[in-house]
Structure 1
Amino acid sequence: MTDSAGSSDVAEFTEDTFLGGQLHLRQPRSGHRAGHDAMLLAAATPARSGDRVVEFGAGIGAAGLAVARRVAGIELVLVEIDADLAVLARENAAANAIAADAVVLDVASAAPAFAAAGLGPDSVDIVLMNPPFNDAARHRASPDKALAHLADASTLENWVHAARRILKSGGVLSLIWRADAIGEVLAALDRGFGSLAILPVHGDAGKPAIRLLVRAVKGGKAPAHILAGLMLRDESGAPDRGVQDILAGKGVLPLAIP
């Protein structure tokens, strides 16, 4: 996709704006593309200035860079398995004048690989992630979408395990996942995480949730709680104004408020 100087074939990419024009991102024209999920994840992440924040499966860096745009002074690390996407993430950070380190790393790697990338145990305040969530046994994806979308039975568990390893005690994991797989989320977080806050995301009012946004605390002891659902569209089918404000960078979701 890109050469060593970071130049690229314009025909293969689009230039897109997020957060109401506050964030400008280049991304591949085909394959997995950043969208609402990334912006909702960023708006649900409770980062504070001075925090070390790591995005797993960062792709072009959309969610992590959106957090950095909202919260000045974080130390941002973007972890991505695809070297070409990592280059794009690095370019996007520079284009938006955001300090960020893009690391080429498989989230399922063992602890030594993380340590070699500067992500040793108990060294991070916040991890945010949008893991591959489609069951590979039930979905067929084109090769350029496979890594971004397809998961096996161990994917979520592996990603949560990696987050648990690098988070400090009291550190926060923020994730988005399929609502119909809530059991997998709860099982993956059962070891080492607590104080869960769960926000169901509904495509349409009156219909079942399609996504879950979850905040979990390493070593947290408070009871889990489920927040009132977020409706992307209102009863008339029109985009919800509150959600549109959040996507435009004019507010945050309740999960971002500790």
Structure 2
Amino acid sequence: AKRVAGIKPVLVEIDEGLSELARANAIANAIAAEVLVLDVTSTAEKFAAAGLLPDSVDVVQMNPPFNDASRHRASPDGARAIAHVAAAETLDGWIHAARRILKSGGNLVMIWRADGIADVLAALGRGFGSLMVLPIHADAASPAIRVLIRATKGGRAPTCLLAGLVLNDEADRPSLEAKAILAGEEPLPLAMP
């Protein structure tokens, strides 16, 4: 929000406590963000009542719970478990919510497990195109651990697989590219113009 002028961020969070933390963080950083307490998988009516109408936003950025329940032990803390472990319907529900509120030509940017990329591509096949996929590697010798994906509602361009982003160098320090991105000196390769 600090890097892009003229945006009006609306944050959606299911947990009231985390919503309050987000509000305080926005105030502390002089960001005029609206924070809504809302389940992303809520009905269109609940979204509209909160001010998020169908076909009304330009960009959705999301970090859905993505850990595979069959391979990840959920936290005994219920709120943490909801935030980290994906149910069978999580991915489709979150993407459906994004598709509903995005304008035609709007962009969805999301993170997911690299080993679940087939599921993401299948879910995005309904209503999205012009995908850009950025693999994220812990280090140059390791397979990707995450993928960042940008998808355009109604997009028709072919899918583009970008060169991977390596987070750490051989000495296990942040790579120069990762440091430049985090410092705001360089955009992510899939950043919107």
Same fold at TM > 0.5:
yes
Alignment match of 1:145 (pick from 60, 74, 80): 80
Larger RCO, structure (CA 8 Å, separation 6 or more): 1
- Write out aligned runs for 1:101-180 (5 A): 101-142=34-75, 143=77, 144-180=79-115
Pair 1:213-2:148 in alignment: yes
> Identity over the aligned pairs, expressed in percent?
66
Structure 2 equivalent of residue 53 of structure 1: none
C-alpha distance in structure 2 between counterparts of 1:251 and 1:231, whole Å: 14
Structure 2 equivalent of residue 20 of structure 1: none
C-alpha distance in structure 1 between counterparts of 2:47 and 2:87, whole Å: 22
For residue 219 of structure 1, report the CA deviation from its aligned partner. Answer: 0.1
CA 1:112–1:199: 2 relative to 1, 3 Å: same
For residue 239 of structure 1, report the CA deviation from its aligned partner. Answer: 2.1
Residue identity in the other structure for 1:163 = A
For residue 242 of structure 1, report the CA deviation from its aligned partner. Answer: 1.4
For residue 236 of structure 1, report the CA deviation from its aligned partner. Answer: 4.4
Structure 2 unaligned segments of length 5 or more: list them: none
Q: Which runs of 4+ in 1 moved over 6 A?
A: none
C-alpha distance in structure 2 between counterparts of 1:237 and 1:90, whole Å: 34
For residue 158 of structure 1, report the CA deviation from its aligned partner. Answer: 0.4
Residue identity in the other structure for 1:158 = G
Residue identity in the other structure for 1:225 = C
Structure 2 equivalent of residue 91 of structure 1: 24
For residue 125 of structure 1, report the CA deviation from its aligned partner. Answer: 0.3
Pair 1:223-2:155 in alignment: no
Question: RMSD between aligned alpha carbons?
Answer: 1.1
Residue identity in the other structure for 2:58 = D
Secondary structure of the residue aligned to 1:165 is helix
Residue identity in the other structure for 2:65 = P
What is the TM-score when the length of structure 2 is the normalising length? Answer: 0.95
Structure 2 equivalent of residue 32 of structure 1: none
What is the TM-score when the length of structure 1 is the normalising length? Answer: 0.72
| Count of equivalent residues | 191
Structure 1 unaligned segments of length 5 or more: list them: 1-67
Secondary structure of the residue aligned to 1:203 is strand
